[in-house]
Amino acid sequence: MLNFTVGPVMCGDEVRAVGGEQVPYFRTSEFSKVMFENEKLMLKFAKAPEGSKVAFMTNSSTGSMEAVVMNCFTESDKVLVIDGGSFGHRFVELCEIHEVPHVVLKLNHGQKLTKERLYEYNGQSFTGLLVNIDETSTGVLYDSEMIGEFCRRNNIFYVCDCVSAFLADPFDMAHCGAAAMITGSQKVLACPPGISIIILAPRAVERVTSRKVKSMYFNLADVLKNMERGQTPFTPAVGILRQINTRLKEIEAMGGANVEIARVATQAKDFRKKIRDLPFEFVSESPANGVTSVHPLNADAYRVFEILKDEYGIWICPNGGNMKSTVFRVGHIGYLSPEDNTTLINALKDMQKRGMI
Ligand SMILES: *Cc1c(COP(=O)(O)O)cnc(C)c1O
């Protein structure tokens, strides 16, 4: 199998070996040590400000998006949501479900967020902003620093969904001033799905510990309290947390976050160069490193996905909704190399020879 989706992605051998081990009991000092190591490296790689805390959540990242909305906002907030694709729209739906007053800044698929567009909302007493730094459905990267500056000026509680951007695109949590960031195990961390991670800056720690949330499982104050001893309130995905530990230490040994980000960037650049001669168009105005969104000019995008899967054993990532037949995505995260890109391009060239694209 060769997997170019955006998660779950290809795992490295060491991470896979840990997945094959027995899962240990977790209310132990040994497991707490694993959790503290994970916390330390997550804070370091996200460049989190002093005093930040980490919540390891046993749920997919949508659960963490929901936890952040529930714990950080109430009906007395006014939140600006950047909606440029299906993940942005998920934040809109979460605000609706939890009755958080919000205004939607809608962008077309592939469109970048300009400063001019964002500053239309300047000085309008917003209290929060929700954005997916890489809107993975279209592969658009938003400028976390430019948005951070807007939030600083307006004293806005800034939430970054970095689920696919963490370790793929440069992100400096302290510098851009994000109050909370979210990521997940199955994207650039290249582990199985099941764990999502929320980093809370001191401002967010203060907020979640001083407010009441109507939830047992998504009570972030409770999660942080348990994390003081390297534990979680309930049984976590112990095996995946151990795999994350292996992976984080591997990244650290290779030189840290910037080295991994550069690796993903190289993988993306290589793909975008190699695909140039094929009858495709790029979708994103400001492409993120983690994924390339591609519009086939002469073929149905979902058909391209099916043929690659069924006839070549290669997985690219189909799109859903109204992009299903027009856009497919190719991921650059996980254990992929430039040679893997060549394998994919050769398959596409073969399809072209067969008159399929
Ligand atoms: C993958 C992803 C998510 C979370 O998806 P889950 O299926 O809940 O893990 C959220 N936001 C972005 C930007 C993503 O890429």
- What gap in Å lies between CA 249 and CA 41, rounded to an integer? 8
Residue 334: which of 251, 252, 270 has the closest Cα? Answer: 251
Ligand 1 atom 4 nearest Cα? 61
Ligand 1 centre to CA of 62 (Å) is 6
Atom of ligand 1 nearest to the CA of 184: 9
**What average pLDDT does range 99-118 have in this prediction?**
97
Sketch out the chain's domains with CATH numbers.
Answer: 13-253 (3.40.640.10), 257-353 (3.90.1150.10)
pLDDT at residue number 72? 98
Ligand 1 centre to CA of 6 (Å) is 9
pLDDT tens sequence across 173-219: 999 999 999 999 999 999 999 999 999 999 999 999 999 999 999 99
Ligand 1 centre to CA of 287 (Å) is 17
Please state the pTM of the whole predicted model: 0.97
pLDDT at residue number 227? 98
Atom of ligand 1 nearest to the CA of 137: 15
Ligand 1 centre to CA of 246 (Å) is 22
How many other CB atoms are there within 10 angstroms of residue 168's CB atom?
A: 28
Q: Which of 161, 188, 289 to mutate to test the pocket of ligand 1 (most atoms within 8 A of CB)?
A: 161
pLDDT at residue number 171? 98
Ligand 1 centre to CA of 86 (Å) is 10
pLDDT tens sequence across 243-301: 999 999 999 999 999 999 999 999 999 999 999 999 999 999 999 999 999 999 999 99
pLDDT at residue number 199? 99
pLDDT at residue number 25? 98
Calculate the average pLDDT of the chain.
97
Pocket of ligand 1 (CB under 6 A): 7, 60-62, 87, 132, 134, 136, 161, 163-164, 184
C-alpha distances in angstroms, 251 versus 50, 143, 166? 22, 24, 13
pLDDT tens sequence across 150-163: 999 999 999 999 99
**What average pLDDT does range 77-101 have in this prediction?**
98
Atom of ligand 1 nearest to the CA of 135: 13
- What gap in Å lies between CA 231 and CA 69, rounded to an integer? 23
Q: How many residues does the chain have?
A: 357
- What gap in Å lies between CA 217 and CA 57, rounded to an integer? 9
pLDDT at residue number 316? 98
**What average pLDDT does range 344-357 have in this prediction?**
97
pLDDT band at residue 57 using 50, 70 and 90 as cut-offs: very high
pLDDT band at residue 241 using 50, 70 and 90 as cut-offs: very high
pLDDT at residue number 352? 97
pLDDT at residue number 288? 98
